[in-house]
Structure 1
């Protein structure tokens, strides 16, 4: 089983510029990416900024172990695919210079059946066994910071799997696993019902006997952001002053003008504005009248259509009755 967690946090502009693609995530967290500006320059009409984006990601793989066994079996159900995917990822990781491994955490687990002390020891042995496997194949401990952990599962961790399962007497089983009894007492109560215990032993407990490896790594990407520099708009030339005068006489000695009266100008403007508003109101009134006429015509057409439909339906019923009468008369003959 593999889980990929991507944690790339870039602005939309940067993502578009970089053309980066993120891995498909089953579960993801998004911490802030570490962003450093590398350069800031002007190229022609563009301002060009280059950034180093360092984002954190991690990937998880899980392999299963047999009951009471701490030795990896590559042929066990699902292990071949998980190990193949792990191998492909490590090969890509070693060839990708943009990714840098920060940590590797290997966690061994044991199912809750059996004593707590035994399960704790078994979980630790499984974790160390898988560490030896990756060290022998990839030299993980030589190249990376590898941490080994172990977890002995308790019966309460089976609640979710049991609640969604078809185990017999499910309510009773959940009552036992959620109870306050010691782990061995819970196991004994569950074993009293052979059908229940067989189901748990085959469906619920095997996936809990596992080792999970988490590889956390940083991805360094250099992205370039190009922004068009806005040039100042050209300043419009001043318009030529309006000639609010009238030439009344011109001769070789100069020009004589007569200035218009300002009061008359304002009056003319008011009259023109009033005429425009009057024409606008008249157009609106005419449009409303036309709309009312159109609606009236539409209603009349609809009413006529309904009347014709009723007549046709009535005629059809009459014809049907006449046909039925004819059939009855023929039957009597």
Structure 2
């Protein structure tokens, strides 16, 4: 139920979303292999690297709920382990600057048995209950946008679990799940098989009564990493030369036969101007990368909204079809 990612830019407990760039002025390990280096320069005592962080898999945590209940119980099933890992995840990601958050989605689920209207309400209540837990412990909603969803699992979601089990009348149950019966008719036929229904009730349906927290990462983030360069040991002070105080000379080598000095030329000012031009160029490049990353993020967000609207429309259409089927079945009885 959980995909664990070890690096992720997040402050303020779980999701104070950083800007398109982030900086760390302390010595840090090299980024993970899922990043692409854009440039590497020096700035005074720091090595400055710019990266594009590629898309990460979402990180998800799931907790179970009792039948007909929307109250989180930490001792139920694997809940204690999931909540402990969620807490450890939050505690361990606050100092990482190479991952940035796009959104947090909390989804409540209900198993397919029972009235559809009741199950929809129950699934939403489970999502809201888990959101309340995260808000109370991490201040989730105060620092980022949180989306709350609810899903009533269809009977077809049981098929893989049934196929992998050794339950009684397994093939007969699979045939029913593959049939075109309405949910109400399918549940009635399953309940008419006591051994199979008892197995479903104790081993499969409880896994569907759950709620999840999913962290969705941004992709294409431009990140700046500043690493302190190691300082060399100080050179021993040179002996006073014969022209000390009389000319601006610098000792660059010493040998048995005497002292070799180099007079400062006129290139120092040119070097400083060139350095300033390079710094300005880096700033322009960074701003351009930020604008590109922001544009990509907005386009992806718009695409996600379009997909969500299409899925919602399809779900409403399927629901209406199910209602019509149920009504037709009632008329046939």
Q: Report the TM range for the smaller structure's normalisation.
A: 0.5 to 0.7
Change (3 A) 1:6 1:116: farther
- Does 1 or 2 have the higher relative contact order (CA < 8 Å, sep 6+)? 2
- Relative distance call for 1:21 and 1:128 in structure 2 (3 A) is same
| Displacement of 1:49 | 8.7
Which position in structure 2 is the counterpart of 1:67?
67
- Deviation per CA, 1:113-171, whole angstroms, max 9, x where unpaired? 01111111111110111011101110111111211111101101111000111111111
- In the alignment, structure 1 segments of 5+ residues that lack a partner are 9-17, 23-29, 42-47, 225-333
Which residue number in structure 2 is paired with residue 297 of structure 1?
A: none
Aligned counterparts of 2:212 and 2:206: Cα–Cα separation in 1:
14
What's the counterpart of residue 285 of structure 1?
none
Partner of 2:137: 137
- Aligned CA RMSD, in angstroms, stands at 2.9
Supply the distance in 1 between the matched residues of 2:168 and 2:189 (Cα, whole angstroms): 14
| Partners of 2:112 and 2:153 within 8 A in 1 | yes
SS at match of 1:3: coil
1:92 & 1:189 partners in 2: Cα distance? 49
Are 1:210 and 2:226 counterparts? no
CA contact under 8 A between 2:7 and 2:93: conserved in structure 1? no
Alpha-carbon distance between aligned partners in 2 of 1:215 and 1:186, rounded to the nearest angstrom = 35
Equivalent pair of 2:106/2:213 in contact (CA under 8 Å): yes
What are the residue-to-residue correspondences of 1:10-29 with 2, within 5 Å? Answer: 19-21=30-32
- Alpha-carbon distance, 1:221 to partner: 6.3
Q: Which residue in the other structure is 1:177 paired with?
A: 177
Q: TM-score under structure 1 normalisation?
A: 0.54
CA drift at 1:184: 1.4
* Number of the residue aligned with 1:56: 55
SS of alignment partner, residue 216 of structure 2 = strand
Give the superposition deviation at 1:77.
1.0
- For 2:84 and 2:164, locate their aligned partners in 1 and report how far apart those are by CA, in whole Å: 30
Partner SS state of residue 93, structure 2: helix
Q: Offset of 1:61 from its aligned partner?
A: 0.6
Q: Distance in 2 between matches of 1:35 and 1:173?
A: 54
Q: Which whole-Å deviations, capped at 9, do the CAs of 1:82-107 have from their partners, x for residues lacking one? A: 00000011112233343332210111
Distance (whole Å) between structure 1 residues aligned to residue 217 and residue 175 of structure 2:
42
Are residue 4 (structure 1) and residue 4 (structure 2) matched?
Answer: yes
Contact map agreement 2:2 2:59 (CA 8 A) in 1 = yes
- Determine if contact 2:53/2:98 at 8 Å carries over to the other structure: no
Query: Could you tell me the TM-score, scaled by structure 2's length?
Result: 0.54
- Supply the distance in 1 between the matched residues of 2:182 and 2:5 (Cα, whole angstroms): 36
Counterpart contact for 1:109–1:152, Cα < 8 Å = yes
> Do the aligned partners of residues 7 and 21 (structure 1) sit closer, same or farther apart at CA in structure 2, a change above 3 Å counting?
closer
- Point out where structure 2 has 5 or more consecutive residues left out of the alignment: 9-28, 228-333
- Quote the Cα distance in structure 2 between the aligned partners of 1:61 and 1:116: 26
Larger C-alpha radius of gyration, 1 or 2? 1
Q: CA deviation at 1:35?
A: 5.9
Contact 1:70–1:129 (CA under 8 A) maintained in structure 2: yes
